[in-house]
């Protein structure tokens, strides 16, 4: 399937989805590179053996590198909701951002349109949109603290925790609730806490808190997208 308006920039770094896999997740990344051109070169280089289905430039330009039906090489080792081969069960989107600056408005607007179309095509719900750090918390930190997850949630394109009562910090309960949502508890408290905070409490620091407990408890509850 092709995305209307996307610039074709085929990457050789892809293959068939394994074991009957189909997209049930969308994984968001940042490129951590200084330019769109540098990211394209890396994602299309056979030597680097990495790719994604799409790259969204900071100007809003959209590139399609791998057909959605194919398995792009973007996620690597990790796990989400028990899925170990995330590449075979996801669509990967690279965002043109160094990780140290806010994501541009043209990029975010184009991403919203792209996500809306992907979720419709593959019948993926908002909970299926995750960050690279969510599924690989011991290895990755993208799309990072500067990415506006709440904006996507307001548009119905990502999940957000429902209000939940604060509980006393309890590492075991925290990991159990996080695992019930999709995180890999075997990654350990530190990496999972960092991933949860990067997405839902981006400037929180320090040890596990009652507010962190409330976030993972709220993720287990169904709710409508948050209002502005």
User: Looking at the domain assignment, is residue 159 inside a domain?
Assistant: no
**This prediction's pTM:** 0.95
pLDDT, average across residues 11-17: 98
36, 140: one domain? yes
What gap in Å lies between CA 90 and CA 207, rounded to an integer? 32
pLDDT reported for residue 1: 57
Q: So what's the pLDDT on residue 222? A: 54
69 shares a domain with 103: yes
Selecting among 41, 49, 68, 94, the annotated active-site residue is 94
The tokens of 52 are what?
A: 């994604």
So what's the pLDDT on residue 224? Answer: 41
Classify residue 178: in a domain, yes or no. yes
Residue 38 CA neighbour count, 13 Å, CB half: 10
Q: What is the DSSP string of 38-100?
A: HHHHHHT-TTT----SEEE-TTS-EEE-S-TTSEES---S--BTTBS-TGGGEEEEEE---SS
CA gap 80, 84 in Å, rounded: 7
- Pair (21, 126) in one structural domain: yes
Q: Which residues contact 32 (CB under 8 A, 6 or more apart)?
A: 97, 98, 99, 142
Q: Could you report the per-residue pLDDT of 28-53, keeping only the tens digit for each?
A: 999 999 899 999 999 999 999 999 99
CB-CB contact of 220 with 161 (8 Å): no
- State the pLDDT at residue 4: 85
Q: Choose one of 119, 154, 189: the last residue of a domain.
A: 154
Render pLDDT for 73-116 as a digit per residue (tens, 0 to 9).
999 999 999 999 999 999 999 999 998 899 999 999 999 999 99
Q: Check pLDDT > 80 for residue 223.
A: no
Encoded tokens for 221: 């509850």
Residues 83 and 108 in one domain: yes
| Residue-level pLDDT at 8 | 96
- Using 50, 70 and 90 to split pLDDT, how confident is the model at 225? very low
Q: Name the DSSP letter for residue 202.
A: T
8 A C-beta contact, residue 88 and residue 18? yes
**What is residue 103's predicted lDDT score, i.e. its pLDDT?**
97
Same domain, 142 and 53: yes
Residue 25 pairs with which residues in a beta bridge?
90
Pairing state between β 54-56 and 62-64: antiparallel
Q: Is the pLDDT of residue 192 over 60?
A: yes
How high is the pLDDT of residue 2?
72
pLDDT at 24: 98
Same domain, 110 and 183: no
What are the structure tokens assigned to 123, written together?
């019948």
pLDDT of residue 166: 84
94 is catalytic: yes
**Residue 103, C-beta contacts closer than 8 angstroms, at least 6 positions apart:** 58, 95, 97, 143, 146, 147, 148
Are 133 and 141 a contacting pair, CB within 8 Å? yes
Structural domain span for residue 204:
171-218
Q: pLDDT averaged over the chain? A: 94
In a domain, 165, yes or no: no
pLDDT in tens, 59-77: 999 999 999 999 999 999 9
């Amino acid at each position: 399937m092709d995305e209307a308006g996307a610039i074709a920039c085929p990457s050789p770094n892809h293959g068939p989805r394994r074991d009957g896999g189909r997209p049930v997740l969308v994984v968001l990344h940042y490129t951590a590179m200084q330019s769109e051109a540098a990211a394209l070169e890396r994602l299309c280089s056979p030597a680097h053996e990495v790719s994604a289905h799409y790259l969204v430039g900071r100007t809003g330009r959209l590139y399609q590198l791998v057909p959605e039906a194919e398995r792009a090489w973007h996620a690597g080792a990790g796990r989400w909701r028990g899925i170990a081969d995330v590449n075979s069960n996801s669509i990967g989107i690279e965002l043109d951002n160094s990780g140290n600056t806010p994501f541009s408005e043209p990029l975010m607007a184009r991403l919203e349109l792209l996500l809306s179309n992907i979720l419709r095509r593959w019948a993926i719900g908002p909970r299926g949109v995750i960050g690279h750090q969510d599924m690989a918390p011991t290895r990755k930190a993208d799309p990072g603290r500067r990415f506006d997850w709440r904006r996507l949630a307001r548009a119905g394109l990502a999940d957000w925790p429902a209000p939940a009562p604060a509980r006393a910090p309890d590492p075991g309960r925290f990991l159990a609730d996080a695992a019930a949502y999709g995180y890999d508890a075997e990654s350990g408290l530190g990496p999972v806490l960092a991933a949860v905070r990067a997405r839902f409490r981006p400037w929180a620091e320090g040890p596990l808190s009652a507010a962190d407990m409330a976030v993972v408890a709220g993720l287990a509850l169904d709710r409508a997208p948050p209002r502005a």
